[in-house]
Amino acid sequence: MSSETTPTKANMQSFKVLQTQANSAARQGTFAVSRTNANTISTPNFLLPTSRGSVPHLTPEILRKHVDVPALYIGVEDFIYKAAMKSPLTLSGFKIRDYVSIMPPLDSKSPQIPIFLSPRRSNPIPTSQPSTDNTLAVVTSDGFRQFPIQEYFQLVSQIKDDDTVVIAPTDLPLMLVPNGARGSGVAVRSSTKVGGNRSRKLVVRNEKWSTSMLEKFSKDVPVIVPLIPGISFSQQQMYFDSLLGKENVFVAAKTIETIDGLAVSDLTSPFLPEPEAEEEEDLDRLGQKENIAPENDTSLTSASTVDYKLIPTELKEVVRLNMAYQNGPHDVLRAFERGSDLVCGDWITTATDAGLGFSFTLPTDDASVHDGHQKLDFAHNFIDNEKYASDLSPIAEGCECYTCTKHHRAYIAHLINANEMLAWTLLQIHNIHVANQFMSAIREAIKAGTFTTAATSFCHLYVEHISGVKLGAPRVRGYQVRLVGGTDKKLNEKAFRDLSADV
Amino acid sequence: MKRALPPVSKTAAMTFEVVAQCSSSKARASNMTMPHGLVETPMFMPVATQASLKGLTPEQLDDLGCKICLNNTYHLGLKPGQEVLDTIGGAHKLQSWPHNILTDSGGFQMVSLLKLATITEEGVRFLSPHDGSPMLLTPEHSIELQNSIGSDIIMQLDDVVATLTKGPRVEEAMYRSIRWLDRCIKANKNPDKQNLFAIIQGCLDLDLRTICCAEMQKRDTPGIAIGGLSGGEDKDQYCKVVNHCTNLLPRNKPIYCMGVGYAEDMIVSVAMGVDLFDCVYPTRTARFGNAITAEGIVNLRNKCYEADFSPVEKGCKCPICRSKEDGGMGITRAFIHHLAAKETTGAHLLTLHNVHYQLELMRSARRAIIDDRFPQFVKDFFSTLYAGDKSKYPQWAVEALREVNIDLLEKTD
Ligand SMILES: [Zn+2]
Ligand SMILES: [Zn+2]
């Protein structure tokens, strides 16, 4: 395949790799999020997930004044009811940016915060029924729904603007077992290993969805299409050919101008518990054991196993969005080492909800100097932690975020202890700031060629799991908790209690 | 007929100056200068019970123009506790709040939150919410706690009885409150920094109120609160007591009606000469999706607002209703509906609107008093609230306002 055969024109490329690493797949680049203006995201970076269009704990005013947001991730399923085309968002005729009042940042170079639109939330709740050829299974506040792909396209046409990136629907081989089928509505992992029939279905379906998305939108906005999770690269060769306009039965080759990015999902969901040994035996007896995904089978495409070296050349220089749940900064470093350019920032909100205030930085020195030292926590734990009760220092020494310049640990500790909502607002502002600093240090390290050393050093310096803190599944809201049964109630109860508690 | 010399009072930690008086009613506008700056009355004071106002940053509250807020002594005494407050250096430092703070005595909360509280001459006996051990809140301890909090206005511990109580218990509580004021005055370590307010007791008995007003006045505290109300009494009874007290109390001291915060109640009370108000209602109700507007309460959780793309209140200048072009957030009713009860930011947004409403209502009352058009302001307020339908005006408001020479039903051209 020579470069002349690809319909992707070099000068149209939205993603530019500026620096690569010799000893890892990590790379530093810029992603142009707009076809009409100069708005770009420096990578590696993160997308800040929204819940019902709101960054958890932050009003739009605080978002524009006190937080530097690289980009927002909005799941359209948060806005649709039974009939998507009769939902208030559709009826309003608004752009999504106006609907949820995302305003230009007060203090930033970029005129608008880039918005990534996807049919589903980042780290969505697995559905209890599969998607169909023309519909995507989603979770709305009304429960499980089939969202017609054509309606997603129509809605996206309405709500996108010049600083929007759109993500094609992905048929994920991840499902909840329907209520009552096994246990009492408790989520279990099922059917993650994809059989031959299902594999062909996945290819055909994603091919159709992705190519239509490209055809409809890539002239106006960047389009990110999925790698098909759960099958090998060779099994999806036909899909790649189709994306590249070589053998496309749906779209004439010429109409595809460009592919801006690839999204890779995980084969697990934080909402699905690890299968227990007993359960596995159970499945074995039922002849379903092969349905359990071998996590370390590197031939399968997933966020934690993907090998970008094997991807077709034409798809190498596009932005790579890692949709998997990152369980803290260690995971984030691994995702970048594997070659991701963008990760979802659910881990930031999860840490905030758990009462953590980040205290990590990317080390600039060599890992070995930390050997023999006790590892540090990557965050301060403000839950039931009396040691901060009279501590007038900022959450992190030298931090320049709004929270740290205006408030102190004693106040955060008090607010957490008193279960006041402001605790989470202040922690969220700080944690996003630290995440930004972290991203910026990672980019600098890649530029300097020291990223691998720095990442190793980080893992030597900081514990991966803070003792007594369980960073579980990402944020779910009340109606979603009901759908996933017993998943990780503790964390979400915390954030919820202050709504009903009274004085 | 404006009075020639507006009353002024200067005490160690407060300068109180009446800057304008309504020529019909008893409404007045005043400037109250305290250690943490100027408070312009009439003023509504939002309640930041545990040193935080329902998810708003102190900066957001400041940006709304709030110059004084409430903290609750009972809650701060539990969390973070007196020791931490002493180490940190008080509640201003705890919440990084540059303006004034008022604290209650903690007694009311104790009696209302803890069913087993009993009152003796010594103080309020109760069982610790921590471990159930018997505790005692004395006037001295209440003041000591408020001294540790460092609030600019501190309240005396009073003997609280339910508003509708009758008989000797009312009299006992009234006299005990006077004795407790004396103990509080003696206990206050910071009279040069913290203004101790007396609380008038006596339930609905006007004779007892008269005695109490006279006795409290003798103690010459920087300000006076009318207590023992907002306890389920009829509105006309409330008005009778307030009107009675403001007639008796000195005109050169701020008068504070505790626990009053409904718009109508505040407007009528301002007309009767009250300067300060506080209430948890505007912030509490925001969490249930209720927006306070000049036309009444709008419950945005109602399905009829799911596709209503107008602002929460038309013409409102709060940060959420103001358009994006005008520097606001341009939030629609539909978006609040979308968030209500599902994301806490929905409550934060409505809290911003509701607190703004309360503060702005008092600011516009003040402007009206200064321009000497307060009676018309009151008439316009009721007309908007009841969509011009005078038959819907509450009788108690009509009567109370008539007492202070504002006739709501008067024919106008
Ligand atoms: Zn900080
Ligand atoms: Zn408003």
Question: What's the pLDDT tens digit per position in A156-177?
Answer: 999 999 999 999 999 877 666 5
What amino acid positions of B are annotated as catalytic residues?
A: 104, 278
- Residue A414 contacts B, CB cutoff 8 Å: yes
- Residue A330 dihedral angles phi and psi, to the nearest 5°: -65, -45
Can you tell me the distance from the alpha carbon of B201 to that of A220, in angstroms, rounded to the nearest whole number?
Answer: 71
- Residue A91 contacts B, CB cutoff 8 Å: yes
Tokens 């992603």 -> residue: A31
Of the candidates A152, A69, A164, A81, the residue with the CA atom closest to the CA atom of residue A108 = A69
**Record: contact B348-A503, CB cut-off 8 A:** no
- Asked if the model's pLDDT at residue B114 lies above 70, the reply is no
Rounded to the nearest angstrom, the distance between the alpha carbon of B377 and the centre of ligand 2 is 20
**Record: contact B335-A100, CB cut-off 8 A:** yes
Q: A313 - beta bridge partners?
A: none
Burial (CB count within 10 angstroms: exposed 0-12, middle 13-18, buried 19+), residue B142? buried
pLDDT value, residue A371? 64
**Record: contact B324-A101, CB cut-off 8 A:** yes
Strand order in the sheet with B43-46: B43-46, B276-279, B255-257, B223-226, B195-200, B153-155, B100-103, B68-71
B318 is known to lie in a ligand binding site = yes
- Asked if the model's pLDDT at residue B208 lies above 90, the reply is yes
pLDDT value, residue B413? 54
**Alpha carbon A204 to its chain's center:** 25
**Record: contact B344-A499, CB cut-off 8 A:** yes
Average pLDDT score over residue span A347-366: 92
Can you tell me the distance from the alpha carbon of B32 to that of B14, in angstroms, rounded to the nearest whole number?
Answer: 7
Q: Which residues contact A483 (CB under 8 A, 6 or more apart)?
A: A125, A128, A139, A143, A144, A176
Which is more confident, A171 or B354?
B354
Q: What is the H or E stretch that residue A118 is in?
A: strand A115-118
Report the SS3 class of residue A98.
helix
Distance from CA of A349 to the nearest CA of B (A): 13
pLDDT value, residue B115? 63
- Residue A58 contacts B, CB cutoff 8 Å: yes
- Asked if the model's pLDDT at residue B1 lies above 90, the reply is no
pLDDT value, residue A106? 83
Least confident span in A132-141, A245-254, B232-241, B362-371: A245-254
Rounded to the nearest angstrom, the distance between the alpha carbon of A460 and the centre of ligand 2 is 51
pLDDT value, residue A128? 80
The encoded tokens of residue A393 equal 């220092």
Interface test with B, best of A62, A98, A411 (most B CBs within 10 A): A411
Of the candidates B272, B223, B267, the residue with the CA atom closest to the CA atom of residue B243 = B272
Of the candidates A344, A378, A339, the residue with the CA atom closest to the CA atom of residue A458 = A378
Nearest bound ligand to the CA of residue A434: 1
**Record: contact A410-B84, CB cut-off 8 A:** yes
As a whole-number percent, the residues of chain B with pLDDT over 90 amount to 87
Q: Which residues contact B8 (CB under 8 A, 6 or more apart)?
A: B15, B16, B17, B18, B252
**Alpha carbon B166 to its chain's center:** 26
Can you tell me the distance from the alpha carbon of B336 to that of B322, in angstroms, rounded to the nearest whole number?
Answer: 15
- Residue A67 contacts B, CB cutoff 8 Å: no
pLDDT value, residue A495? 29
Rounded to the nearest angstrom, the distance between the alpha carbon of B260 and the centre of ligand 2 is 21
- Between the alpha carbon of residue A98 and those of residues A95, A158, B111, the distances in Å are 5, 12, 48
**Record: contact A101-B60, CB cut-off 8 A:** no
Nearest Cα residue in chain B from A413: B80
Rounded to the nearest angstrom, the distance between the alpha carbon of A403 and the centre of ligand 1 is 5
The answer to whether A203 and A238 are in contact (CB under 8 A) is yes
- Asked if the model's pLDDT at residue B125 lies above 50, the reply is yes
The answer to whether A375 and A461 are in contact (CB under 8 A) is yes
Tell me the helices (H) and strands (E) count for chain A, helix number first: 15, 15
Residues of A in contact with B341 (CB under 8 A): 478, 499
The answer to whether A131 and A120 are in contact (CB under 8 A) is no
Buried/exposed code over A386-417 (b: 16+ C-beta within 10 A; e: otherwise) = eebbbbeebbbeebebbbbebbbbbbbbbbbb
pLDDT value, residue A500? 30
Interface test with B, best of A65, A402, A421 (most B CBs within 10 A): A421
Q: B30 - beta bridge partners?
A: B18, B41
Q: A321 - beta bridge partners?
A: A263, A342
Q: B105 - beta bridge partners?
A: none
Report the SS3 class of residue A443.
helix
pLDDT value, residue A269? 78
pLDDT value, residue A489? 36
Q: Which residues contact B189 (CB under 8 A, 6 or more apart)?
A: B143, B144, B147
- Residue A469 contacts B, CB cutoff 8 Å: no
Rounded to the nearest angstrom, the distance between the alpha carbon of A346 and the centre of ligand 1 is 18
pLDDT band (50, 70, 90) for residue A109:
low
The answer to whether B149 and B101 are in contact (CB under 8 A) is yes
Can you tell me the distance from the alpha carbon of A215 to that of A206, in angstroms, rounded to the nearest whole number?
Answer: 14
Residues of B in contact with A75 (CB under 8 A): none
Q: What is the residue-averaged pLDDT of chain B?
A: 94
DSSP string of A340-377, one letter each residue: -SEEE-HHHHHHHHTTEEE------S-GGGGTTSPPBP
Q: Is A447 left (phi over 0), alpha (psi -120 to 50) or beta?
A: alpha
Report the SS3 class of residue B292.
strand
- Residue B311 dihedral angles phi and psi, to the nearest 5°: -65, 165
Average pLDDT score over residue span A63-85: 94
Distance from CA of A147 to the nearest CA of B (A): 19
pLDDT value, residue A451? 96
- Comparing CB atoms, the residue among A79, A101, A141 nearest residue B330 is A101
**Record: contact A389-B324, CB cut-off 8 A:** no
- Asked if the model's pLDDT at residue A461 lies above 90, the reply is yes
Q: What is the dihedral of CA A9, A15, A19, A21, to 10 degrees?
A: -100
Burial (CB count within 10 angstroms: exposed 0-12, middle 13-18, buried 19+), residue A316? middle
B289 is known to lie in a ligand binding site = no
Residues of A in contact with B330 (CB under 8 A): 98, 101
pLDDT value, residue A176? 65
Can you tell me the distance from the alpha carbon of B94 to that of B148, in angstroms, rounded to the nearest whole number?
Answer: 12
- Comparing CB atoms, the residue among B58, B60, B343 nearest residue A52 is B343
pLDDT value, residue A297? 61
Neighbours of ion ligand 2 (CB under 5 A): B 313, 316, 318, 321, 353
Rounded to the nearest angstrom, the distance between the alpha carbon of A355 and the centre of ligand 1 is 14
Least confident span in A319-328, A477-486, B20-29, B157-166: A477-486
pLDDT tens digits for B13-26?
Answer: 999 999 999 999 99
- Residue A186 contacts B, CB cutoff 8 Å: no
pTM: 0.92
B158 is known to lie in a ligand binding site = yes
- Comparing CB atoms, the residue among B57, B84, B307 nearest residue A91 is B307
Q: Does residue A229 have a cis peptide bond before it, meaning omega lies within 30 degrees of 0?
A: no
pLDDT tens digits for A241-269?
Answer: 888 877 655 555 544 558 999 999 988 77
- Residue A421 contacts B, CB cutoff 8 Å: yes
Least confident span in B63-67, B133-137, B235-239, B387-391: B133-137
pLDDT value, residue B368? 98
Average pLDDT score over residue span A356-375: 81
Which is more confident, B391 or A495?
B391
- Comparing CB atoms, the residue among A56, A411, A502 nearest residue B343 is A56
The encoded tokens of residue A431 equal 């944690």
Burial (CB count within 10 angstroms: exposed 0-12, middle 13-18, buried 19+), residue B134? exposed
The answer to whether B67 and B39 are in contact (CB under 8 A) is yes
pLDDT value, residue A477? 60
pLDDT band (50, 70, 90) for residue B118:
confident
Burial (CB count within 10 angstroms: exposed 0-12, middle 13-18, buried 19+), residue A313? exposed
Rounded to the nearest angstrom, the distance between the alpha carbon of A411 and the centre of ligand 1 is 13
Residues of A in contact with B306 (CB under 8 A): 88
Rounded to the nearest angstrom, the distance between the alpha carbon of B331 and the centre of ligand 2 is 9
pLDDT value, residue B312? 98
- Asked if the model's pLDDT at residue A291 lies above 50, the reply is no
Nearest Cα residue in chain A from B98: A406
Rounded to the nearest angstrom, the distance between the alpha carbon of A493 and the centre of ligand 1 is 25
The answer to whether B357 and B293 are in contact (CB under 8 A) is yes
Query: Please, what are the domains in chain B?
Result: 19-279 (3.20.20.105), 288-372 (no CATH)
Can you tell me the distance from the alpha carbon of A66 to that of A68, in angstroms, rounded to the nearest whole number?
Answer: 7
As a whole-number percent, the residues of chain A with pLDDT over 70 amount to 77
Distance from CA of B257 to the nearest CA of A (A): 20
Tokens 């009528």 -> residue: B268
The encoded tokens of residue A276 equal 């227990």
Which is more confident, B336 or B135?
B336
Can you tell me the distance from the alpha carbon of A77 to that of A93, in angstroms, rounded to the nearest whole number?
Answer: 17
Distance from CA of B240 to the nearest CA of A (A): 30
- Asked if the model's pLDDT at residue A372 lies above 90, the reply is no
pLDDT tens digits for B269-322?
Answer: 999 999 999 999 999 999 999 999 999 999 999 999 999 999 999 999 999 999
Interface test with B, best of A78, A95, A390 (most B CBs within 10 A): A390
The encoded tokens of residue A64 equal 């524009």
Can you tell me the distance from the alpha carbon of B152 to that of B90, in angstroms, rounded to the nearest whole number?
Answer: 11
Residues of A in contact with B347 (CB under 8 A): 421, 499
The answer to whether B377 and B368 are in contact (CB under 8 A) is yes
Of the candidates A398, A435, A341, the residue with the CA atom closest to the CA atom of residue A43 = A341
Distance from CA of B338 to the nearest CA of A (A): 7
**Record: contact B335-A424, CB cut-off 8 A:** no
Q: Which residues contact B219 (CB under 8 A, 6 or more apart)?
A: B181, B182, B185, B198
Distance from CA of B312 to the nearest CA of A (A): 14
Q: A42 - beta bridge partners?
A: A30
Q: A117 - beta bridge partners?
A: A74, A166
Residue A129 has a CB neighbour count (10 Å cut-off) of 13
The encoded tokens of residue A479 equal 């109606």
- Between the alpha carbon of residue B12 and those of residues B34, B152, B193, the distances in Å are 9, 12, 7
- Asked if the model's pLDDT at residue A364 lies above 70, the reply is yes
**Alpha carbon B109 to its chain's center:** 15
- Asked if the model's pLDDT at residue B109 lies above 60, the reply is yes
Nearest bound ligand to the CA of residue A397: 1
pLDDT band (50, 70, 90) for residue A130:
confident
Interface test with B, best of A422, A427, A500 (most B CBs within 10 A): A422
Q: A136 - beta bridge partners?
A: A147
Tokens 């055969």 -> residue: A5
Q: A149 - beta bridge partners?
A: none
pLDDT value, residue A373? 76
For A255-351, list the strands marked E by DSSP.
261-264, 319-322, 342-344
Nearest Cα residue in chain A from B110: A503
pLDDT value, residue A186? 40
Of the candidates A433, A432, A421, A423, the residue with the CA atom closest to the CA atom of residue A501 = A421
- Comparing CB atoms, the residue among B57, B287, B342 nearest residue A422 is B57
Identity of the amino acid at B368? A
Q: What is the residue-averaged pLDDT of chain A?
A: 83
